[in-house]
Structure 1
């Protein structure tokens, strides 16, 4: 599988070439070229921020449809704790779990139950590995991918444990095969995802060679049908839930850390806040921390772009739901420890390097610095890159030209106009060489004028979006 597989995609027909996405992308993975956005697959971490901010709905996540249930003889749903937070006045998770069975699933396995196993394994890891602290949670795939491409010094701090969804998939598959006697390929393990990041994880996992999750559905797709099934379940459903407070709490920011029974932790949510924390960690600004929980989405998984409820309202619902739950209902058993651990290490991917060697990178960095002196430093985005520095790096990589900068182009046009005026004066005085230069210069001016017209049109469109220059 391609290590740069992505579930976040662009619909060029809907893209209007505005710069909302390039300004909000945390890894500067998006450019606007020829009036359309382009996503650099090496830079993208599938956080879904571009989906959230695109006013034209040109970004979307790819995932499976409910019809995939027909592809298997036996299907198991993996509901995440964030799913429970989408419904009003829910006081019993068994209503949701039984509704999933009514929808057509043959069995359910709570991701929150697997989360309790991961919490238990994390507590053990923290006590046995004091030299590798603080440990950084690996539950959010976008955060792991961000560290892989941008913060290589923090890779040793990654918690080498599978995320709860993977542990749940492994246990669910084992249970289904024992129960039915079917071969693994006839059983469908289907995760209900709150975000595109976890869709990408299934296709291209980190920390393991292959994911046991077969298909991924979106919460927002299942929500209407699931809601109607919940009404049919009734008020006293059969009890099939197997998780408690610790597992359900994983759906919100700080929930994972709260299950470690320590106060020496830091929890941050929202991709911009996550980057700030990672930068501070790289600068060794934190001391006496044992654990760092980071979630790319605001509020944690409840804020994923594939959910339907406001993340802050969803967080309150989740807190209320867990109020009368037992602390935990799932515990480690023989053999479970090996299921939780990573089998592959995460490798650094130097995608942001300007050259293939250190010498080449330094040389190109000097080129970037020289280019930056030519640019205005406004970071207006009119060139299609998020910042002047990003444009300079694109130029050095051969992916852009200096004239993409509106201000640089305008300055050149003014200088050329002055040169043409001088040549015209020489022609009047009878200088034949100046006449030949004048013809060449006139053609060049015309070409620059055409480019200026296109840039002015784009500039005006960006102003209308509230992101252009005045």
Structure 2
């Protein structure tokens, strides 16, 4: 069913003026959320998980991510920057992380709180949760919002496997506000926390969170939008103020496998790239990986460093992050300090993730079964080439669209050619009859 986009908040949007109706996005969408109708792409709001794959592959830049502008920090009396550790990998020859953090303050933020520091706390909480015996295995990381939305749409049976702990972004925002309010004697309501994001899914998770009732993050500014101005600040001499507190393990979350390393689970698997993640989730769903304890799935290739809203090539940024963390002591955050933070703030999810049954044909089971029979019949008569010329990503998707009343069989170019050929033959026969 096609739905009005206003029903669901999405960061990923379509610029129809730039769309040429090509099928690049159609083929790459992991939830079949895109159709091409009347020469333009259409996004099915219910199915979109804001992974940004369409942004990555669109040659005409017709897919865009809506994020906040830097000026939005002026909505609050005080503003806190929450840099994703991915941000550190964007700068060539960066001598230390403190340069980036100081640069953010020079850009107008009242304070800076590292999301990597939030990752240190979340790593500890996840490690403790893994020790419990009554949890389903493997546990699935809750860090990537695109993967969470993928699970509720395509793998709802795995929702119970998701770690019930908030993301480092949410934890960092909550703690940053608490600390700033206490240290400066100001009201939490006067403080705005803004995430510097590498992906559109984070923006969506702020506006429509799956794990918390109300996000502590007040906005998200893309790394791409921040890079130019921040790069000029980073080149300035080192600041006397020491702002960097996250550990080797927290900063490492930027790369795929960083969370797994930080959690310290040996029997774990880290997979990046949404199509690779889908293949592993299928294995988990079929109970083929029941001996695995922890699964870290990240939608972007290479991890968050490969997000569609970054400035630098993901592989280059990944290597820079690796070199940066090598300059940090390979030590974990003090357990006492983490316990103190956990006592001040509960990192557990406050909202239950529920399935989003967008794949079902109808609410009425009897009607759904009849539609399924008709869909199977239509699909069997289609060529099965999955060429995308009809505007659907596959022949089966076209059959579903036909059953739901969103397409007709003649949208298939091969069916249309067959129909035209038959009509041409009939015209020839009619012509022969007339000549007689």
Q: Per the shorter chain, which TM-score range?
A: over 0.9
Distance in 2, matches of 1:231 and 1:131, equals 48
Q: Is the 8 A contact 1:190 1:213 kept in 2?
A: yes
Q: Is the 8 A contact 2:143 2:166 kept in 1?
A: yes
The correspondence for 1:175, drawn from 171, 176, 179, is 179
Deviates more, 1:50-59 or 1:370-379: 370-379
Cα distance in 2 for partners of 1:329, 1:107 equals 21
> Of 40, 43, 62, which aligns to 2:44?
40
Specify every segment of 5 or more residues in structure 2 that has no aligned partner in the other structure, as ranges.
none
- How far apart are 1:427 and its partner, in Å? 5.2
Q: How far apart, CA to CA, are the structure 1 residues paired with 2:6 and 2:176? A: 26
Q: Tell me how far 1:416 sits from its aligned partner.
A: 2.2
- Out of 223, 227, 230, the residue aligned to residue 223 of structure 1 is 227
CA distance in structure 2 between the aligned counterparts of 1:296 and 1:274, rounded to whole angstroms = 7
- Aligned with 1:336 (options 335, 339, 342): 342
What is the aligned partner in structure 1 of residue 285 from structure 2?
A: 282
1:387 aligned onto 2:375: no
Cα distance in 1 for residues equivalent to 2:321 and 2:246? 13
Task: Report the TM-score, using the length of structure 2 for normalisation.
Answer: 0.95
Report Cα offsets for 1:281-326 as digits up to 9, x if no partner.
Answer: 1111114211000000000001111111111111111111111313
What are the superposed Cα offsets for residues 47-87 of structure 1, whole Å, 9 maximum, x if unpaired? Answer: 00100100000000000111112222111000111111111
Among 290, 294, 306, the residue aligned to 1:291: 294
Alpha-carbon spacing, 1:280–1:3, altered in 2? closer, same or farther (3 Å): farther
Residue of structure 1 aligned with 2:415, choices 402, 408, 418: 408
Question: Normalising by structure 1, what TM-score?
Answer: 0.88
1:106 aligns with 2:113: no
Q: Counterparts of 1:69 and 1:4 in 2: how far apart (Å)?
A: 25
Q: How many residues align?
A: 428
Q: Report if aligned partners of 1:267, 1:294 keep a CA contact under 8 Å in 2.
A: yes
In the other structure, the counterpart of 2:148 is 144
Q: CA deviation at 1:426?
A: 4.8
What is the RMSD of the two structures over their aligned residues, measured on CA atoms?
1.7
Verify: 1:115 aligned to 2:119, yes or no.
yes
Distance 1:160 1:129 in 2: 15
Higher CA-based Rg: 1
**After the TM superposition, which of the residue ranges 39-48 and 2-11 deviates more from structure 2?**
2-11
C-alpha deviation, 1:366, in angstroms: 1.4
Give the corresponding residue for 2:273.
Answer: 270
Aligned partners of 2:73, 2:151: CA distance in 1, in Å?
A: 35
**Corresponding residue for residue 248 of structure 2:** 245
Measure the CA separation in 2 of the matches of 1:252 and 1:47.
17
Given that 2:272 and 2:302 are in contact with CA atoms closer than 8 Å, whether structure 1 keeps it comes out as: yes
Q: Report the Cα offset of residue 383 of structure 1.
A: 0.6
Query: Match of 1:459?
Result: none
Following TM superposition, by how much is the alpha carbon of 1:236 offset from its aligned partner in structure 2, in angstroms? 5.8
1:103-151 C-alpha deviation (Å, 9 max, x unpaired): 1111000000011110000010000145422100010000000001110
